[in-house]
């Protein structure tokens, strides 16, 4: 009897050890991570590009995994827009959008999410397996560009290159831009090309706070070359906090119609139809949260102010423009395109643009930025040219092809 008991105990111990080992296996870790990211859906929609958009109840979104959000009272609308009191009939925010072609996301062709839910792009196993690690999935590996630095090695840290316009020297409570949308060609899967605005606070050391939004093409993150709406945030220079879209707790979405990370449709064509998106990010002067609006009518959600240190008050710099990753070794340059892949001097219909760029001042008013500077690391690879006129306000063209006869 004793021998039988010992054998049974040994068998049970072996089963427990096998189960424990299985729980620690890479496959088990991937499964647990997928369960954390993909919340139970009220409805799921398969997009023509292969994405699955899950319509998740407002209170079940990833934001509420954050310990400081467990008892957070959800804000369903901002107390104030930059022009004044927010109201339900307000459709436009200090922008001349006459003639702007309607922008949709590709998944809208197959349906919409019901009220009371938020659309979340489902993370697939392959998405996680492309990442360098589960811990780094959905996170950037670099700092924002500091155009005031005199150290070119810092400006091109990690092979990142930029063509941007920027303002600094004041307190900024938000920013806005209308951004031309393209589908730049990417040379290597681990490279990306994006066009965005940055709202920055702190130094460019380990304390940098950043809120970012725009469009990007990132095969590594999404598994394809589609142009996608994205956001990002960090409160410690991309070290341990923040992520793309809603791949971690932080950004709280309230809108049921626009999905972070979903494909934008349609896209501009050389010498053809031009499409753009408008993005506004501003700090609600009453609640202190940072809100995001997409287009003329979609208030998407907010970043709670407690996520940040410097941005809990205001931003000290705003940047607009393009960024690419150059992963080529030994001084060789990538052929990954920025913007449309054309240089700024080619102008409308060929070069990519930002127009009607604005900042939000301390009186919560949108206004044209003063003292706009421009910066690029290698103007023979990617360049930027700014201007001002009555139709487009403060604007700039930017971008380029990367590797060419003048950019080896």
- Within a 10 A sphere around the Cβ of 165, how many other Cβ atoms? 25
Distance of alpha carbon 256 from the chain centroid: 18
- Within a 10 A sphere around the Cβ of 237, how many other Cβ atoms? 21
HEC assignment per residue over 104-152: EEHHHHHCCCCCCEEEEECCCHHHHHHCCCCCCCCCCCCCCCCCCCCCH
The closest of 312, 235, 300 to 261, measured between CA atoms, is 300
Alpha-carbon distance 270 to 321, whole Å? 19
Structure tokens at 230: 């994205």
User: Considering Cα of 303, then 309, then 313, then 317, what sign does the dihedral take?
Assistant: negative
Place of tokens 């993909």: 38
- Residue from 183, 191, 319, 323 carrying the catalytic annotation: 323
Structure tokens at 289: 């949260």
- Residue from 183, 212, 257, 345 carrying the catalytic annotation: 212
323 counts as catalytic: yes
Longest dimension (CA), the chain: 94
115 counts as catalytic: no
Q: Taking CA 124 as the corner, what is the angle to CA 121 and CA 129, rounded to the nearest 5 degrees? A: 130
> To 10 degrees, the CA torsion angle through 189, 191, 195, 200?
130
Distance of alpha carbon 374 from the chain centroid: 22
Alpha-carbon distance 284 to 80, whole Å? 6
Q: Looking at the annotation, which residues are catalytic?
A: 212, 323
């Amino acid at each position: 009897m004793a021998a039988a008991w010992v054998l049974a105990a040994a068998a049970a111990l072996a089963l427990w050890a096998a189960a424990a080992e299985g729980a620690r296996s890479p496959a088990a870790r991937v499964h647990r991570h997928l369960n954390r990211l993909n919340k139970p859906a009220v409805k799921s929609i398969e997009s023509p590009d292969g994405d699955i958009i899950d319509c998740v109840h407002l209170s079940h979104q990833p934001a509420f995994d954050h310990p400081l959000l467990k008892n957070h009272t959800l804000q369903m609308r901002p107390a104030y827009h930059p022009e004044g009191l927010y109201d339900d009939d307000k459709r436009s925010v200090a922008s001349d959008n006459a003639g702007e072609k309607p922008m949709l996301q590709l998944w809208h062709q197959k349906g919409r999410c019901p009220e009371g839910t938020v659309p979340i792009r489902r993370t697939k196993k392959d998405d996680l397996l492309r990442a360098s690690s589960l811990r780094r999935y959905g996170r950037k590996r670099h700092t924002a560009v500091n155009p005031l630095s005199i150290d070119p090695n810092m400006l091109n840290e990690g092979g990142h290159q930029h063509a941007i316009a920027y303002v600094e020297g004041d307190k900024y409570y938000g920013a806005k831009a209308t951004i031309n949308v393209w589908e730049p060609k990417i040379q290597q899967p681990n490279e990306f090309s994006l066009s965005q605005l940055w709202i920055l606070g702190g130094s460019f050391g380990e304390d940098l706070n950043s809120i970012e939004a725009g469009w990007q093409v990132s095969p590594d993150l999404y598994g394809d070359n589609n142009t996608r709406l994205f956001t990002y945030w960090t409160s410690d220079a991309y070290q341990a906090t923040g992520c793309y879209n809603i791949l971690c707790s932080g950004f709280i979405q309230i809108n049921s119609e626009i999905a972070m990370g979903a494909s934008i449709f349609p896209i501009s064509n050389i010498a053809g139809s031009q499409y753009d998106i408008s993005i506004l990010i501003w700090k609600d002067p009453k609640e202190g949260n940072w809100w995001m609006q997409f287009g003329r009518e979609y208030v998407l959600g907010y970043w709670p102010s407690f996520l940040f240190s410097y941005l809990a008050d205001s931003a000290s710099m705003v940047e607009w423009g393009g960024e690419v990753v150059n992963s080529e070794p030994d001084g060789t340059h990538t052929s990954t395109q920025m913007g449309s892949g054309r240089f700024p001097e080619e102008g409308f219909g060929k070069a990519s643009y930002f127009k009607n760029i604005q900042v939000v001042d301390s009186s919560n008013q949108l206004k044209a930025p003063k003292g706009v500077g421009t910066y690029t690391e290698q103007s023979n690879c990617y360049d930027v040219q700014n201007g001002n006129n009555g139709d487009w306000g403060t604007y700039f063209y930017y971008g380029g092809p990367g590797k060419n006869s003048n950019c080896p």
